[in-house]
């Protein structure tokens, strides 16, 4: 009898040579606990190891869905069918047994004895399979489990918000670093050519110019038309002639140029990173991006820790995320709490007049909370919801600017509280009654008795007619 066992390391076939001895054993599980006895009773017949986690994942996911993976069918073909082994195969899963019987014509069995065998073998797996240690098996199990979980949860690499959090943190870091390096470059090169710093204000252009000219002497011979506009180029060339900076050696120049290279590279990388962040934000949270923009959206997600965490916050929290220090201080000293946190950087709040920033921030936070929840927990991938909300907000800002309040728009006349009558207004009794009044309603009105008495009168009249 053969035994088929599926492990995270691969497929294994064991052979029970002596089935008669097997039936004589009282407690198979206990018997198999002894390593020597186990090896005598159950001998490894064949073992097909998975090459990597990917292979294991494909095979296992097929098994779970009740189908035979290719690996398994090849394994069985090679070891059982082509070798013309006539033994029965013990399989743990009934469905799999049926499939094997139908597709490969193998004779599969399942009895309480085989169940006990499976238990015993499962506890002795590392002892029975050569070359498989506990730690190896554990690693493969972990790999397979995580892979399977991701497969089941339909883990999409597109929707990972860790990328956003890391990217925005890196963006801030890069900004600081680039600024540092730029200041250093200006100071260092300013030792040699101080006037250049005063002429060129933009950092990136300064670095490019430094890279192009190297030493002050070469300025007149270098072509700066690609980097500078004509008038600045003329200024630079003139300043180079009459500069009072000190001379530097070739080696100094080499290192300064290296620094300038670094700055240019980093600035380039930063702009690429910014593009990447925009794309990722659009993919992960399109509605949030539409409402507040990529940077503010990314900062909100990063502050909360994840998109799902952000979705759990109420709108009032989203309004003051980022101003916690001011918030708790105000609460403690019983002052006014801040009106906006990170949301202040959103374009809608920025473009509103100063007096309305508070109101706009509140409305924006409310609608943004909805958009965030739609992105985090909803199934759709579109930005329509965000677009609708944004247009509502723009209308609202417009309304606020014109001094319109909700109270004035919808309030009825003061003093004469008249309820608004509409066609769909619910009217007391008529709405509750179905087409024809029910028995219950008739009973309550005493109508059924009248009806009953009328029925009786009718029937007696009919009887009289019949009798006559």
Partner 1 sequence: MGREFSGGRGDTRGGRGGDRGRGAPRGRGAPRGGRGGRFGGAPKAFVVPHPRLAGVFVAKGQQEALVTKNMVPGESVYNEKRISVEDKQTGEKVEYRVWNPFRSKIAAGVIGGVSDIFIKPGAKVLYLGAASGTTVSHVSDIIGSEGVVYAVEFSHRSGRDLVNMAKKRTNIVPIIADARKPLEYRMLVGMVDVVFADVAQPDQARIVGLNSQYFLKKGGHFMISIKANCIDSTNRAEVVFQHEVQRLKDEGLTPQEQLTLEPYERDHAIVIGVYNV
* Contact set with partner 1 (CB under 8 A): 6-8, 29-30, 60, 63-64, 92-93, 115, 118-119, 122-123, 125, 137-138, 141-142, 144-146, 148-150, 152-153, 162, 165-166, 168-169, 172, 299, 302-306, 309, 321-325, 327-328, 331-332
Structure tokens at 437: 């009044």
**CB 364 to partner 1: min, Å:** 20
Structure tokens at 171: 């963006």
Of 190, 197, 185, 204, whose CA–CA distance to 236 is shortest? 197
Alpha carbon distance 349, 352 (integer Å): 5
Structure tokens at 332: 């403690």
Nearer to partner 1, 262 or 306 (CB): 306
Alpha carbon distance 327, 406 (integer Å): 28
Alpha carbon distance 92, 182 (integer Å): 68
- Alpha helices by DSSP H, listed for 105-202, are 112-123, 125-128, 134-152, 162-190, 194-199
The answer to whether residues 364 and 268 touch, using CB atoms and an 8 Å cutoff, is no
**CB 127 to partner 1: min, Å:** 12
Alpha carbon distance 441, 438 (integer Å): 5
**CB 95 to partner 1: min, Å:** 8
**CB 98 to partner 1: min, Å:** 13
Query: Which is it for the CA torsion 14, 15, 18, 22, positive or negative?
Result: positive
Nearer to partner 1, 138 or 218 (CB): 138
Nearer to partner 1, 166 or 438 (CB): 166
Nearer to partner 1, 146 or 449 (CB): 146
Structure tokens at 62: 């097929």
**CB 238 to partner 1: min, Å:** 44
Alpha carbon distance 24, 16 (integer Å): 13
Nearer to partner 1, 171 or 232 (CB): 171
Nearer to partner 1, 93 or 252 (CB): 93
**CB 145 to partner 1: min, Å:** 5
Contacts of 200 (CB under 8 A, 6+ apart): 206, 209, 228, 232, 236
**CB 108 to partner 1: min, Å:** 14
Alpha carbon distance 308, 162 (integer Å): 12
Nearer to partner 1, 60 or 289 (CB): 60
């Amino acid at each position: 009898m053969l035994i088929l066992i599926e492990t995270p390391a691969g497929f294994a076939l064991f052979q029970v040579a002596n089935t008669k001895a097997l039936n004589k054993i009282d407690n198979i599980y206990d018997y198999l606990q002894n390593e020597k006895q186990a090896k005598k009773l159950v001998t490894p017949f064949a073992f097909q190891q998975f090459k990597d986690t990917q292979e294991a994942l494909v095979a296992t996911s097929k098994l779970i869905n009740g189908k035979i993976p290719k690996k398994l069918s090849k394994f069985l073909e090679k070891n059982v069918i082509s070798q013309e082994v006539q033994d029965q195969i013990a399989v743990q899963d009934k469905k799999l047994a049926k499939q094997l019987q139908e597709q490969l014509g193998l004779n599969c069995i399942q009895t309480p004895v085989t169940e006990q065998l499976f238990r015993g073998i499962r506890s002795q797996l590392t002892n029975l399979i050569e070359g498989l240690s506990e730690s190896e098996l554990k690693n493969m199990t972990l790999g397979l489990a995580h892979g399977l979980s991701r497969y089941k949860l339909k883990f999409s690499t597109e929707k990972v918000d860790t990328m956003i959090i890391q990217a925005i943190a890196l963006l801030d870091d890069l900004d600081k670093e680039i600024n540092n390096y730029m200041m250093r470059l200006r100071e260092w090169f300013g030792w040699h050519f101080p006037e250049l710093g005063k002429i060129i204000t933009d950092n990136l252009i300064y670095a490019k110019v430094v890279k192009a000219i190297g030493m002050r002497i070469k300025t007149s011979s270098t072509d700066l038309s690609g980097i500078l506009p004509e008038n600045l180029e003329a200024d630079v060339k003139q300043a180079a002639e009459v500069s009072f900076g000190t001379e530097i050696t070739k080696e100094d120049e080499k290192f300064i140029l290296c620094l300038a290279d670094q700055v240019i590279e980093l600035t380039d990388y930063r702009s690429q990173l910014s593009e990447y962040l925009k794309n990722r934000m659009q993919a992960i949270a399109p509605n949030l991006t539409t409402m507040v923009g990529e940077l503010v959206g990314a900062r909100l997600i990063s502050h909360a820790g994840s998109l799902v965490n952000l979705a759990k916050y109420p709108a009032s929290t989203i309004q003051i995320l980022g101003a916690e220090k001011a918030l708790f201080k105000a609460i403690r000293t019983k002052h006014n709490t801040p009106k906006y946190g990170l949301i202040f950087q959103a374009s809608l709040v920025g473009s509103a007049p100063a007096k309305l920033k508070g109101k706009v921030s509140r409305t924006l936070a409310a609608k943004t909370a909805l958009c965030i929840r739609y992105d985090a927990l909803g199934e759709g991938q579109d930005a329509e919801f965000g677009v609708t909300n944004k247009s509502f907000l723009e209308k609202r800002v417009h309304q606020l600017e014109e001094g319109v309040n909700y109270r004035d728009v919808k309030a009825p006349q003061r003093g004469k509280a008249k309820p608004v009558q509409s066609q769909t207004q619910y009217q007391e009794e008529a709405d509750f009654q179905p087409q024809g009044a029910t028995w219950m309603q008739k009973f309550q009105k005493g109508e059924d008795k009248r009806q009953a008495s009328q029925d009786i009168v009718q029937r007696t009249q009919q009887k009289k007619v019949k009798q006559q």
